[in-house]
Structure 1
Amino acid sequence: MAFKMSVQDYKGKINEVEVGKGEKAFKLGGTGTMAFYDFDGDTGNAPKVGIEILDIAPEEWIPSLQELYKDVAVNPVEWAKYVEKEFNPDFICLRFLGADPNGLDKSPEACGEIAKAVVEAITVPLVIAGTGNHDKDAKVFEKVAASVEGHNCLILAATEENYKAVGAAAGLAYGQKVGAESSVDINLAKQLNVLLGQLGVKYEDVIMHIGCSSVGYGFEYLISTIDRIRLAALGQNDKTLQMPIITPVSFETWNVKESIAEVEDAPEWGDREERGIGMEISTAASIMAVGADAVIVRHPKSLETIKSFVEALA
């Protein structure tokens, strides 16, 4: 008897969400099965890989990255243009650390001007991340969303604390995509999506950021959460969870001890830069294998490796 492979047939499908404008715009999602399971059905759009830049000089980054960007890091526009030309990411993530109230505390208006200059200087889609301070981010994202109107950016992210302000500005007033950020919990992710929907933001304009951790740091809980979200979205046809997922890997992996410990303090761990790259690649590949539709990395070597990983599997 000829072998007949068993196929898992799902009821649901992940929404397709387009980010960016022009020839390099891309769609996330569209899958009707688990990540890379092409033997079960349509895997939709291939995952995308973006690279992180800041609105200020990266003084906390490792020396090799500071050296790489020394001629452009004082100007976000030049930095973005350099990254696009030299490394060819699928998108660029502009992170507004300079707006942090505990740092330079840049005004929302200044952030809006920077975002506008950056998005007009590049051809790849732009993802815009904030400070992590929910109150300040709400004010920053309102100005930023207005300044990049017409460019279909992803604003990362609306949280339970500020979703009304961010959702109204980005998703309703200025036609951007909204990142819905929760804390590694399927119920919290679902609740935030429902709240954005009740606000009037279309589910087709939402991309989930359900949290992130580095491999070895409660990572199995993150993986199981994404598994549960995808199984509910596909198997139970739960439309409140059928959004693509983006994971800002670099925000976490370059802060753990394996990445930041000096060689003098842990000589047995080897070169600091290689350790950081290894943590970033391991985390990004693992999170993609379980369902992330896009990841954000920091090191160009990580970008190159993960793009090759996607090309080999997608």
Structure 2
Amino acid sequence: MGEKLSISDLNKKLAEMDVKSLEGITIEGDIELEIDAGAGGVGPLFAYYFGEEVAKVAVQMVNMAKAFGYPVDNLLQPVAVAQAVSPAPDELAKAAAAIPAFKIPDTLKSAKFQVGTDKTWKTQIQEVQLGATKSEGGSRGHVIKIGGEKAMPFFYDAAMPNRPVVTIDVFDMPIGMAKAVKMHYDDVMSDPADWAKKAVKEFGADLVTTHLISTDPLIKDTSAKEAVKVVEDVLQAVDVPIVIGGSGNPEKDVEVLSKACEVAQGERALIASASLNLDWEAIGKACVATDNVCLAWTQLEINAQKELDRKLMKVAGVPRESIVMDPTTAALAYGMDFAYSNMERIRLGGLKGDQELNFPMSSGTTNAWGVREAWMVRSPNKNDSDWGDRMLRGPIWEILTGFSLAMAGVDIFMMMNPIAVTYLQEITQSLMGLIKAETPDTANWITTEV
């Protein structure tokens, strides 16, 4: 059997031999075309494309013949092609009649909805107690427990044992605030103890966060010994569990928070926070020595969260029941999307058995006020649309930030605007079935002007 060559292969061989033309040469060969015959014969669409391929082959053959010097023009005469015959109308009618008609059923097919469970959620989130009563070595009127979930928030797979809680921010010195927030605290900003009282008694805070921002060397550089007196005052003013935060200065915070742990000995206060960019070991050990809870703060990075949690447990010796995570809250656009996704991944990882992630989570929901769209009177862009009333826009921004992250698994929210606090508490408790929310009359939502 001779060698099989395609038309292009033959052209290449002639080109390699630098053959310009062939005279007195006979090329013998066979061209085989295989057509799979179908039951219905060759359809017009198949015939068209098959003819197209045959024409391409013919063109290649003609070009080769020209290269060999043969006068092919004499052979290229018009060829009559028979037109395809359409099926007779009666044949079409018979074919259509053979197709069974579709009948619409009188009733829908019965179906049963069954609530299932996600069997990959095998690990319970660690339960953490905040606050300690007198019988437990503290001075709080009651304790708050967070965590303990066996499913994602508000899922039917497993009831949430503890509701999400809110802590209102208090500062050890007056600070700049958006008008929609400052108007509620203007009369108590010079006294952190009164500020804490108002947050609890008037605005329903579950906890109070005391931020010792005056300790920052770039602000007042208040000494740790002097700053923690504010913690003592707040502990005397309210009987709810407390959160203690520093200024954010990585050098000063270690000293300040360690001293704060001593003042809050046995109170199981949430110490905010240990992070990878400061001496996390010192803060972790201070929490262990004084029976306080350590807040592990990372910056939107799940692997960093795992690393910090692991180090706090294995190096600093912080027990599992004394760790709360803060994966960082970003409150605008892509940042919000990233924060939600990160927290959701952390919670799902914890439920699926990751022992470095199955801890309660905290959200700095107050970060919503760092977004200019939450507090500015109007857009700086003259061609922009109206942003609406900032006295409502800001609280709504904080509410939506908190609620979005509640769906990702957050257990404790650090907030400021009392309206936002009230609504977030109502929304989350309604979803848990703890309270029955009123159904609004949606007919009043839309108005018209004639």
TM bracket, shorter-chain basis: over 0.9
Of the candidates 263, 280, 284, which is equivalent to residue 163 of structure 1?
280
Counterpart CA distance in 2 for 1:81 and 1:211 is 27
Q: Distance in 2 between matches of 1:63 and 1:312?
A: 29
Asked if the contact 2:128–2:145 (Cα under 8 Å) also holds between the matched residues in 1, the reply is yes
In the other structure, the counterpart of 1:140 is: 256
Tell me if 1:112 matches 2:228. Answer: yes
Equivalent residue, structure 2, for 1:95: 211
| 1:4 and 2:114 aligned | yes
The 8 Å contact of residues 182 and 209 in structure 1, kept in 2 or not, is answered as: yes
Question: Measured at CA, do residues 139 and 263 of structure 1 come closer, stay the same or move farther in structure 2, by a change above 3 Å?
Answer: same
SS at match of 1:57: coil
Over 3 Å counting, the alpha-carbon distance change for 1:12 and 1:261 in structure 2 is same
Q: Distance in 2 between matches of 1:260 and 1:63?
A: 8
**Higher-strand-fraction structure:** 1
Distance in 2 between the 1:241 and 1:83 partners? 31
> Do structure 1's residue 293 and structure 2's residue 411 form an aligned pair?
yes
Cross-structure match for 1:308: 426
- 1:31 matched to 2:154? The reply is no
Residues 265-304 of structure 1 mapped to structure 2, 5 A cutoff: 265=380, 268-304=386-422
- What residue number does 1:205 align with? 322
Give matches, 1:165-314, under 5 Å. 165-170=282-287, 172-198=288-314, 199-235=316-352, 237-250=353-366, 252-263=367-378, 265=380, 268-314=386-432
Contact 2:332 2:371 in 1 (8 A): no
Give the residue type in structure 2 aligned to 1:155.
Answer: I
Which residue number corresponds to residue 266 of structure 2? Answer: 150
Question: What are the ranges of 5 or more consecutive residues in structure 1 without an aligned counterpart?
Answer: none
Q: Alpha carbon RMSD of aligned pairs, Å?
A: 1.6
Using the TM superposition, give the Cα deviation of residue 71 of structure 1 relative to its aligned residue in structure 2, in angstroms: 2.4
Flag structure 2 segments of 5+ consecutive residues without an equivalent: 1-110, 134-140, 433-450
- How far apart in 2 are the matches of 1:63 and 1:227? 33
CA contact under 8 A between 1:145 and 1:174: conserved in structure 2? yes
Aligned mates of 2:295, 2:225 — CA distance in 1: 21
Could you tell me whether the CA contact under 8 Å between 1:215 and 1:279 is conserved in 2? no
Q: Does the residue aligned with 2:158 lie in a helix, a strand or coil?
A: coil
SS at 1:87's partner residue? coil
Task: Provide the TM-score with structure 1 as the length reference.
Answer: 0.94
RCO comparison, higher one (Cα < 8 Å, 6+): 1
For 1:54 and 1:265, the matched residues in 2 are separated by: 30
**Cα deviation digits, residues 157-178 of structure 1 (max 9, x gap):** 10012211211112x2111000
- Cα distance in 1 for partners of 2:159, 2:390 equals 40
CA distance in 1, matches of 2:403, 2:251: 33
Q: Deviations over 1:63-88 (max 9, x none)?
A: 34333323211010111112211112
**Amino acid corresponding to residue 12 of structure 1 in structure 2:** T
Structure 2: how far apart are the matches of 1:284 and 1:294? 10
Q: Cα offset for 1:21?
A: 2.4
Q: Is 1:19–1:27's contact at 8 Å kept on the other side of the alignment?
A: yes
Question: How big is the shift at 1:238?
Answer: 1.3
| 2:306 alignment partner AA | K
CA distance in 2: counterparts of 1:79 and 1:64, whole angstroms: 16
For the residue of structure 2 that corresponds to 1:189, the secondary structure is helix
Please give the alpha-carbon distance, in whole angstroms, between the structure 2 residues aligned to 1:138 and 1:159.
Answer: 10
Q: Pick from 185, 190, 195 the counterpart of residue 79 of structure 1.
A: 195
Provide the rounded CA distance (Å) in 1 between the counterparts of 2:317 and 2:180: 45
1:239-292, Cα deviation, whole Å (9 max, x unpaired): 111110011110x11111102323484781122232221211110000001110
Deviations 1:6-62 (A, max 9, x none): 21132111000000123431100000001111x11232211111211111113x102
Kept in 2: contact 1:259–1:272 (CA 8 A)? yes
Task: Out of 28-37 and 226-235, give the one that drifted further.
Answer: 226-235
Query: What is the TM-score with the length of structure 2 in the denominator?
Result: 0.66
> Higher mean Cα deviation, 189-198 or 148-157?
148-157
- Paired with 2:181 and 2:122, the residues of 1 have a C-alpha distance of 45
Shift of 1:294: 0.9
1:55 is the counterpart of 2:172: yes
How many aligned residue pairs are there? 309
Show CA shifts across 1:177-196 (max 9, x none): 00000111111000000000
